[in-house]
Amino acid sequence: MDCIFCKIINGEFNTEFVYENEHVVVFKDIHPKAPVHLLVVPKVHTASLNELEDKSLMGELLQAVKDVTKKIGLKSYRVQINTGKEAGQEVFHLHLHVLGA
């Protein structure tokens, strides 16, 4: 599948993972829009929130946000999910932006 995030998850670009567990990887956004800008990405390909069927996955993603921010000592942050191209979604593999100071 021609999906940039699937390729990152498969290790094709040697991207450093800030955090990883069974369900999720976290890596730095290549074009950060805040001093800390992480992407929390499910290992299973899902195009966007609109296509998400496994609602337990959202719990895993939010738990990963908690775990990775705790790991790096980031106490204040925003979480954003762009859904659909009119809302600014560029990569059609579900991901959460974590934006912090």
Please identify which of the residues 23, 31, 37, 95 carries the catalytic annotation.
95
Residue selected from 20, 67, 74, 82 as contacting ligand 5GP according to rule CB under 6 A: 82
Q: Are 29 and 97 in contact (CB under 8 A)?
A: yes
Residue 30 binds ligand 5GP, judged by CB under 6 A: yes
Positive or negative: CA dihedral 12, 29, 96, 69 = positive
> What ranges in 1-101 are assigned the alpha helix state H?
4-9, 56-72
Residue 53 binds ligand 5GP, judged by CB under 6 A: no
Q: Is residue 95 among the annotated active site residues?
A: yes
Q: Which residues, 19 to 48, sit near Zn ion by CB under 5 A?
A: 45
